[in-house]
Amino acid sequence: MSESSVAEYEYRSEVKPTWCPGCGDFGVLNALYNALGRKGYNPKDIVCVSGIGCSSRLPYFVTSYGFHSVHGRAMPIATGVKMANPELTVLVFGGDGDAYAIGGGHFIHAARRNTDLTYVIMDNTIYGLTKGQTSPTSQTGFVTKTTPRGSVEPPFNPIVLALASGASFVARGFSGKPKEMADLIVKGIEHPGFSIIDVYSPCPTFNTVNTFKTYKEEVADLPSDHDVSDRVAALRLASLDQPRYLGIFYHQRVGSFQERVKSLQTGDRKDSKKVLDSLFQRFS
């Protein structure tokens, strides 16, 4: 897809974000505007797909094409969009519940296939849209309305899961650092394969434990000498509880799902259209 000079404000739709004041998702949205402005993409060449949840409202706030889909099913829908028109830049947005709970199976296999999508997951460690229940990333002992004595379940590590599933670009950001967040989105878009960017995005309404203040005290940039092509080193760093590392854990260029499918194709799209037209005529 060709790039041209597009002002950042041209990606802002007329729809006003409906998130709570202080929501971390504002930082992700602003980082997205910045990243798209830097790339200079024409909004009509971008598709933003989301599932269900507070974070999944994001496509409404962008002037690109958008698809607010079914809970947990953003990934297969985005895959279909990319397969139908590989020239589009397809970004997927969701929360920790949408991506890692009901959508967990799709997430794993998108990573395994190395589908050419950029998946930005706004992880607030709680279900915000349904007013505060534990999510797959909530820590043990986390008190919510449905776990008044504290959650007995351990959280899983999304970075480790992505690495173990074969994702070729794995990163973590923090909505309190929008500039660095924008850098990750740009690099994720540029990567020809599956890019996952897990984002610490605090919920000030239903999560008073994992706050902006807490994250600012606990996060740290990945070591400058970290080799992003070393999956084992990435797994080791991602497995640490403290500090909470930010940056690119793993980045390796391998053939994407779309590239492998294309290598099997014969003819071109015009030939496919002729075949489809003949079938429609035959059965009409």
Closest-CA residue to 170 (of 128, 199, 210):
199
Tell me whether residue 252 is exposed, middle or buried, using C-beta atoms within 10 angstroms of its C-beta: 0 to 12, 13 to 18, 19 or more.
Answer: middle
Distance of alpha carbon 18 from alpha carbon 9, whole angstroms: 18
Q: What percent of the chain has pLDDT over 90?
A: 82
Structure confidence at residue 261 (pLDDT)? 86
Whether the Cβ atoms of residue 162 and residue 111 lie closer than 8 Å to each other: yes
Within-domain flag for 3: no
The number of beta carbons lying within 10 Å of the beta carbon of residue 130 is 14
Residues 6+ apart with CB under 8 A from 119: 75, 91, 92, 93, 94, 99, 107, 110, 194, 195, 196, 197
Within-domain flag for 2: no
The pLDDT of residue 3 is above 60: no
Distance of alpha carbon 51 from alpha carbon 161, whole angstroms: 20
The position carrying tokens 């079938």 is 279
Structure confidence at residue 274 (pLDDT)? 80
Within-domain flag for 1: no
Q: Which residue has the higher pLDDT, 277 or 244?
A: 244
Within-domain flag for 112: yes
CATH of the domain at 174: 3.40.50.970
Task: Please report, as a single letter, which amino acid is at residue 85.
Answer: N
Within-domain flag for 226: yes
The pLDDT of residue 2 is above 80: no
pLDDT interval class at 270 (50, 70, 90): low
| 40-96: pLDDT as tens digits | 999 999 999 999 999 999 999 999 999 999 999 999 999 999 999 999 999 999 999
| 76-86: pLDDT as tens digits | 999 999 999 99
Number of domain units in the chain = 1
| 139-190: pLDDT as tens digits | 999 999 889 999 999 999 999 999 999 999 999 999 999 999 999 999 999 9
Please give the mean pLDDT across all residues of the chain. 93
The number of beta carbons lying within 10 Å of the beta carbon of residue 82 is 22
Q: Which range of residues forms the domain containing residue 53?
A: 8-283
Within-domain flag for 51: yes
Q: Which SS3 state, helix, strand or coil, does residue 46 take?
A: strand
Cα Rg for the chain, rounded, in angstroms? 19
The pLDDT of residue 243 is above 90: yes
